[in-house]
Chain A
Amino acid sequence: MSESSAKERKLRNPIVGHIRALAKGFKYLVEPNRMTLDYPAETMKLPPNYRGFFTVDDKKCIGCSMCEMICPPQAITMIPRVQVQSGQTVPEGAGQGKKTKRPVVNWGRCIYCYFCFDICPVDAFVPSGVHDLAFYNDKDYRPSYEEYLKPPEEPYKNSKKVVSRPDLKRGVGYEPAP
């Protein structure tokens, strides 16, 4: 069990070793084992549980601030809103109704841990399925509530959508998304 089980290594004969290394190298030169994706001509369709950008269901949210409390990087801010008769919320002063709050995420701070998803007592957060967004300036990081409600627009819409699959030859292969 203990020390006696220590393995004795076997060193390979240098001549055999060089030949085998060169042969293997030649094999992969002829038949490369490529697993990269031709981004952005091809983009990944991510699994449904992938943690990317997300938005909130305005009608479902009850404004309890639990997400703001649990957010580890303090990316969530609660904005004061007024809930009108239809269940939608409007900015303060724009309508009559119940005073409430709604979360807004600062994308510059968010770490996509999805703790807010899990603490939400009404399951109001909605994943958008988008993960590859870039922001051009500091302002875009911090959307207003109305901007935050709209699901982020997916870049490279015309690209070929693929999903990954395990491949015995290449490790990761890609096939067209269903």
Chain B
Amino acid sequence: MTKKVAVLVRDRQHEALRMAVGLTLADNSVSVFVMDTRLASDKNIEMSVETLGDMNAKIYSNNPENKFTQMATEEIAQALTEYDIVIPY
């Protein structure tokens, strides 16, 4: 059965996103929540974001500087309760 996994991206953005990409290698439905900080813009980050899109992972953020689907922190907090696994990174 597919597992719903949420990854919260905090300070270690590169590794959090690389891990999120990796999680799609098994039968996991992955969502990424970029929390508070603006996502760095470099090749590795861009590649991870692109790959996550290719793997149908959804990316959300509570920071309007990030051009992903916007959710307030309160909405994210409630949304997390619907996941099987939550990984703050």
- The yes or no verdict on A and B being binding partners is no
